[in-house]
Chains A and B, each alone.
Chain A
Amino acid sequence: MPVSPMRGGSRLERVLRSGRFAVTAELNPPDSADPQSVYDRALVLSSVCDAINATDASGANVHMSSMGVCALLTRAGYEPVMQMSCRDRNRIAMQGDLLGAAAMGVKNVLCLTGDGVQAGDQPEARPVFDLDSITLLRTLRTLRDKGRFLSGRKLEEPPKVFLGAAENPFAPPYDVRPKRLGKKVEAGADFIQTQYCFDVTRLKQFMAAACDMGLDQQVFVLVGVGPLRSAKAAEWMRDKVPGVVIPDVVVDRLKGVPKEQQAKEGKSICIEIIQQVQEIPGVRGVHVMAYRQEELVAEIIEEAGLLARRQRESMAAPDVPRVGSASPRP
Chain B
Amino acid sequence: MERLFVRVERLSKGLIFDCRMCGQCILHSTGMTCPMTCPKNLRNGPCGGVRPDGHCEVVPAMPCVWMQAWERSKQMSMYGKAILQVQPPLNRSLQGTSAWVNDLNGVAQKTPAGWEQ
| Residue positions of A touching B, CB distance < 8 A | 87, 91, 113-116, 118-119, 127, 129-135, 138-139, 141-142, 146, 148-153, 166-168, 171-173, 176, 179-180, 182-183, 186-187, 195, 242-243, 245
16 residue pairs A–B, Cβ–Cβ below 8 Å: A113-B48, A129-B40, A133-B44, A134-B86, A135-B44, A135-B86, A135-B89, A138-B86, A149-B114, A150-B89, A152-B114, A168-B48, A168-B49, A173-B54, A173-B70, A187-B86
Residue in contact with A132 in the complex, picked from B39, B40, B113, CB distance below 8 Å: B40
* Closest-CB distance, B70 to chain A (whole angstroms): 5
Interface of B is mostly: loop
Q: Which of B42, B89, B114 has the most CB of A within 10 A?
A: B114
Residue in contact with A195 in the complex, picked from B41, B48, B67, CB distance below 8 Å: B48
| Residue positions of B touching A, CB distance < 8 A | 39-52, 54, 57-58, 64, 67, 70-71, 84, 86-89, 92, 112-116
B52 cross-chain contacts in A, Cβ below 8 A = 171-172, 245
Residue in contact with A139 in the complex, picked from B58, B89, B92, CB distance below 8 Å: B89
* Closest-CB distance, B30 to chain A (whole angstroms): 12
Contact B57 A243 (CB under 8 A): yes
A171 to B67, CA, bound (A): 11
* Closest-CB distance, A156 to chain B (whole angstroms): 15
* Closest-CB distance, B58 to chain A (whole angstroms): 4
A150 to B52, CA, bound (A): 36
A167 cross-chain contacts in B, Cβ below 8 A = 48
A202 to B84, CA, bound (A): 22
If the complex has contacts A171-B49, A195-B48, are A129 and B41 also in contact, measured as CB distance less than 8 A? yes
If the complex has contacts A127-B40, A134-B44, A183-B84, are A243 and B49 also in contact, measured as CB distance less than 8 A? yes
* Closest-CB distance, A42 to chain B (whole angstroms): 26
Contact B86 A186 (CB under 8 A): yes
A177 to B43, CA, bound (A): 16
Contact B44 A150 (CB under 8 A): no
If the complex has contacts A150-B115, A151-B113, are A115 and B57 also in contact, measured as CB distance less than 8 A? yes
Contact B46 A132 (CB under 8 A): no
Contact A183 B86 (CB under 8 A): yes
A119 cross-chain contacts in B, Cβ below 8 A = 57
Contact B40 A135 (CB under 8 A): no
Contact A150 B114 (CB under 8 A): yes
B51 cross-chain contacts in A, Cβ below 8 A = 171
Contact A91 B54 (CB under 8 A): no
A114 to B48, CA, bound (A): 9
* Closest-CB distance, B112 to chain A (whole angstroms): 5
Contact A113 B89 (CB under 8 A): no
A171 to B39, CA, bound (A): 17
* Closest-CB distance, B52 to chain A (whole angstroms): 6
Contact A166 B89 (CB under 8 A): no
A132 to B39, CA, bound (A): 12
* Closest-CB distance, A298 to chain B (whole angstroms): 26
Nearest to B53 among chain A residues (CB) is A172
Nearest to B67 among chain A residues (CB) is A173
A116 to B64, CA, bound (A): 14
Q: Which of A115, A138, A146, A171 has the most CB of B within 10 A?
A: A171
